[in-house]
Amino acid sequence: MNRIFGSSSTKKPKSTLQDAINATDARVASVEVKIRKLDGELLRYKEQMSKLRSGPGKNAIQQRALRVLQQKKLYEGQLNQLQQQTFNMESAALTTDNLRNTMATVDAMKLANKEMRKQYGKIDIDKIENMHYDMEELLEQANEIQESLGRSYAVPDEIDEADLEAELDALQLEEEEEGPSYLADLNKVPDFLDDTPVETSEPATKEAVKTT
């Protein structure tokens, strides 16, 4: 039958919590407009009563003002209820969002935990320890090689300072007995240098030519 008459099988999407909040906010705005309108009427009645004396006319205006005030009280009660509903729905929406974020965080943590277990399963702790020990041995061998290459073959390992002082005293005594040492001769002028040539002055030769 549905196919014959062409009735649609699609259903209306269900209203969400945010849709309900928006609808309630629209009702709140409508009620607030009505309350402001009643406030204007009350102000006008108040001005009229201030200009009239006591009598039937003033009493009639006062009755109208009372009815408007009663209507305003009803709208104010409705406004409070709508605002409370909006607050409750917004709190529920916030709680739902927090729960959704929490579930997303938990799912991400589960995935990360699974990936970590998968990666750590490929690591062999014993191999890492053995590699660490091998590195330590290689570093010790490198230090031994450096020490061996830096060793001096001409200088003894241990030199007695007293022996050095005794040898220095013997050298000084030998220098006093033999005269100035070769170190003192370094400041002397060598014997193989010729005598300094005598310079002949040019003006003297000119005077000799004049006398001739």
Q: Tens digits of per-residue pLDDT, 121-146?
A: 878 888 888 888 889 999 998 888 88
Residue 209 has pLDDT above 60, yes or no: no
**Rounded distance between C-alpha atoms, residue 84 and residue 90, angstroms:** 10
**Rounded distance between C-alpha atoms, residue 22 and residue 30, angstroms:** 13
For residue 167, give every residue at least 6 positions away whose Cβ sits within 8 Å of its Cβ, in sequence order, or none: none
> How many Cα atoms occupy the beta-carbon half-sphere of 67 within 13 Å?
6
For residue 27, give every residue at least 6 positions away whose Cβ sits within 8 Å of its Cβ, in sequence order, or none: 82
In contact, 45 and 38? CB cutoff 8 Å: no
The pTM assigned to this predicted structure is 0.46
Which of the two residues, 127 and 90, has the higher pLDDT score? 90
**Rounded distance between C-alpha atoms, residue 118 and residue 113, angstroms:** 9
Residue 211 has pLDDT above 60, yes or no: no
CA-angle at 139, arms to 134 and 141, nearest 5°: 95
CA distance readout (Å), 186 to 29, 38, 101, 102, 199: 115, 125, 94, 94, 29
Reported as a single tens digit per residue, the pLDDT across 176-185 is 666 555 545 5
